[in-house]
A and B are shown apart, each in its own frame.
Chain A
Amino acid sequence: MAKVLMKGNEAIAEAAVRAGGLCYFCYPITPQSEVAEYLSRRMPEVGGTFLQGESEVAVSNMLYGAAGAGVRAWSTSSSPGISLMMEALSYIAASELPTVVVNIVRTGPGLGGILPSQGDYLQAVKGGGHGDYRCLVYAPSSVQEAVELMPLAFDRADRYRNPVIVLGDGMIGQMMEPVEFREHEFPPLPPKDWATDGCKGRKPNIVNSLYLDPVKEEELNQRLAAKYERMKQNEVMYEEYMTDRPYEVLLVAYGTTARVCKTAIKKLAEDRIGAALLRPITLFPFPSARLYELAKPVKFLMSVEMSCGQMVEDVELGVRCEKPVYFYGRQGGLVPTPEEVVDQVKKRLGKGA
């Protein structure tokens, strides 16, 4: 297929449709309302479901219902709306249902603003709602990558029977880049024999997360924990940049800030400073093992984010605190510039800015 120039939000919508995400619930919120607007036209064309719910609380429970009925259901929102979905996501994880939620992150906390941010990192990767659960978290850094990650997100949600979060930011949602929609093939999925799709010829299925028996509840918790371990073994994704030549600094960044870091690394190279980048594509599971390897030759690491350093602790754990981990970030919708990152690296190297 030929390339088309598309806004991130619309490309995500189209990629989901092509991946069979034909049941979409939403509630408007900037900077991702274009997903809903696109699908309000597109879903009728493909015989899918488009419904604007009365709130994100309702939308996330629509996901619970539809997913429990065995349908590929998904939604998109932005930070304040995602907060309202946390209760349902906890239920969805506990009931072991598959769903995909895209968070086009904006600034916070509170009502915040509508500009890009990475301030929902901890919420996304450490569970977010109540109880002992995790979501698989993908962080695209281009429109094309967002398009590639959507089918993967649906597949992994089904395979692990777990919510998957795609963590973008306002920049990814609003920017236009050429995209190509490729066919994706995955091994066959197990049948959804747990779904509430009618009990003809089988015992009734119950979708539930109530466990009054502590032994049964512990069993669930341990089953979930084992699932997250399997994700850590099998699902880690990352990109390395300039790690195939000597470097003394390792930048760690995801999404939009990773792109900023790439430019910074090129600029540093002009000044004969070797820097490299590890870009986690999965934020949970975090590429800790690779990080540890890549950190071996460096003087220090620097986590570059559009937050106050939410990823730093994962980087520190990744290098087992054997190397200094510095942080550079901007907040409030301001995006770090390559020039700023260059200055920070030079300062830490004692080379002045």
Chain B
Amino acid sequence: METIFKRPEALAAAPTHYCPGCTHGIVHRMIAECLDELGLRERAVGIAPVGCSVLAYNYFNFDFQQASHGRAPAVATGIKRGRPEMIVFTYQGDGDLASIGMAEIVHAANRGEKFTVVFINNAIYGMTGGQMAPTTMPGQVTTTSPFGRDVAQVGYPVRMCELLAALKTQGFIERVAVHSPKYIIRAKKALKKAFQYQADNKCFSFVECLSTCPTNWGMTPLAALDWLEKNMVPYYPVQNFKDLVEQGGGDAD
């Protein structure tokens, strides 16, 4: 009998702790598929962040390091500079990457570190129970913005792809979404390209995945997918922002 659907080798046979309907699992699977398809599993080192995906090391079947909150790009830099032949990626939430880890991600991107960043933007702090994130939507109620995000007080949601694309250093920067099959297929393509570029030693690669957190959004999984489509996609354009070229930022040198 022909097998048409199986667990990627790069994915561990372990039940995850993610809430029902959480999209972390979808992205995990895509990463595993990419590494399998590109034959990179045995060279792969993942960096688990501080956030709901802190236990990611249990869900993949290759080497992992766990980083302190926000510092995954620095940890990845260490691995990649020390062992350039490794295929290194960080997997970070929006609190981890866009709040506490803002310095590390910007500098890693600016140095053109040749690793891959998978950035899960679910517009909230998941693990700590639903506090406001830098990516929380205007007016969105969270446990630390009980009256809705007030942009007059705390500014607008940070668009990481746009921010990083403004750097002159070359890189691969794309935003994807994982709320419907159509988008998921595009997401997989972007992730695969990111890992391919790394394997070819080309450039820094960054894939932002618009994701859901039904638990802390206080929605059913289906309503959450819908909310993502209606609220996040219009604000966070799903597109490629940079593909290798040196562009953006600064004056001519």
Interface residues of A (CB under 8 A from B): 26-30, 33, 36-37, 40-41, 44, 51-52, 54-57, 80, 110-111
Contacting residue for A54 out of B99, B129, B146, CB 8 A = B99
Contacting residue for B132 out of A29, A41, A44, A52, CB 8 A = A52
**Cβ-based interface call for B44 (8 A):** no
Contacting residue for A80 out of B69, B102, B143, B147, CB 8 A = B69
Say yes or no: A40-B146 contact (C-beta < 8 A), given A28-B128, A33-B128, A33-B129: yes
Are the C-beta atoms of B50 and A33 separated by less than 8 Å? no
Q: How far is the CB of B166 from chain A (nearest CB, A)?
A: 19
CA distance A36 to B128 in the complex (A): 12
Are the C-beta atoms of B70 and A55 separated by less than 8 Å? yes
CA distance A51 to B100 in the complex (A): 14
A residues in contact with B95, CB < 8 Å: 28
Are the C-beta atoms of B144 and A52 separated by less than 8 Å? yes
Are the C-beta atoms of A33 and B69 separated by less than 8 Å? no
Are the C-beta atoms of B54 and A36 separated by less than 8 Å? no
B residues in contact with A52, CB < 8 Å: 131-132, 144, 154
**Cβ-based interface call for B125 (8 A):** yes
A-B contact pairs, 15 of them (CB 8 A): A27-B99, A27-B100, A28-B131, A30-B129, A33-B143, A36-B144, A37-B131, A37-B143, A40-B144, A40-B146, A41-B146, A44-B147, A51-B153, A54-B99, A54-B134
Give residues 19-75 of B contacting A (CB, 8 Å).
Answer: 50, 54, 66, 68-70
Say yes or no: A29-B128 contact (C-beta < 8 A), given A54-B100, A111-B50: yes
A residues in contact with B128, CB < 8 Å: 28-30, 33
Are the C-beta atoms of A111 and B132 separated by less than 8 Å? no
Are the C-beta atoms of A28 and B125 separated by less than 8 Å? yes
In the complex, given contacts A28-B131, A36-B131, A36-B144, what are 14 additional A-B residue pairs having Cβ atoms less than 8 angstroms apart?
A28-B144, A36-B143, A37-B146, A40-B144, A51-B153, A51-B154, A54-B99, A55-B69, A55-B70, A55-B100, A56-B100, A80-B69, A110-B68, A111-B68
Q: How far is the CB of B9 from chain A (nearest CB, A)?
A: 28
CA distance A55 to B105 in the complex (A): 14
- Among B68, B69, B125, B127, which residue has the most Cβ atoms of chain A within 10 A? B69
Closest to A110 in B: B68
**Cβ-based interface call for B145 (8 A):** yes
Interface string of B3-24 (1 = CB under 8 A from A): 0000000000000000000000
B residues in contact with A54, CB < 8 Å: 99-100, 102, 134
Q: How far is the CB of A178 from chain B (nearest CB, A)?
A: 25
CA distance A228 to B67 in the complex (A): 37
Are the C-beta atoms of B54 and A111 separated by less than 8 Å? yes
A residues in contact with B127, CB < 8 Å: 30
Q: How far is the CB of A17 from chain B (nearest CB, A)?
A: 16
A residues in contact with B154, CB < 8 Å: 51-52
CA distance A55 to B99 in the complex (A): 7
Closest to A81 in B: B69
Are the C-beta atoms of A40 and B143 separated by less than 8 Å? yes
CA distance A40 to B144 in the complex (A): 5
Q: How far is the CB of A149 from chain B (nearest CB, A)?
A: 25
CA distance A51 to B145 in the complex (A): 10
Complex A-B, nearest 8 residue pairs according to Cβ-Cβ distance, in ascending order? A55-B100, A28-B131, A28-B128, A37-B143, A40-B144, A54-B99, A52-B144, A41-B146
Closest to B100 in A: A55
Closest to A41 in B: B146
B residues in contact with A80, CB < 8 Å: 68-69
Q: How far is the CB of A285 from chain B (nearest CB, A)?
A: 32
Interface string of B178-222 (1 = CB under 8 A from A): 000000000000000000000000000000000000000000000
Closest to A26 in B: B144
B residues in contact with A41, CB < 8 Å: 146
Are the C-beta atoms of A111 and B66 separated by less than 8 Å? yes
CA distance A80 to B49 in the complex (A): 14
CA distance A74 to B129 in the complex (A): 22
CA distance A56 to B146 in the complex (A): 21
A residues in contact with B66, CB < 8 Å: 111
Are the C-beta atoms of B70 and A33 separated by less than 8 Å? no
Give residues 116-153 of B contacting A (CB, 8 Å).
Answer: 125, 127-129, 131-132, 134, 143-147, 153
Are the C-beta atoms of B144 and A37 separated by less than 8 Å? yes
A residues in contact with B99, CB < 8 Å: 27, 54-55
Say yes or no: A40-B145 contact (C-beta < 8 A), given A28-B131, A30-B128: yes
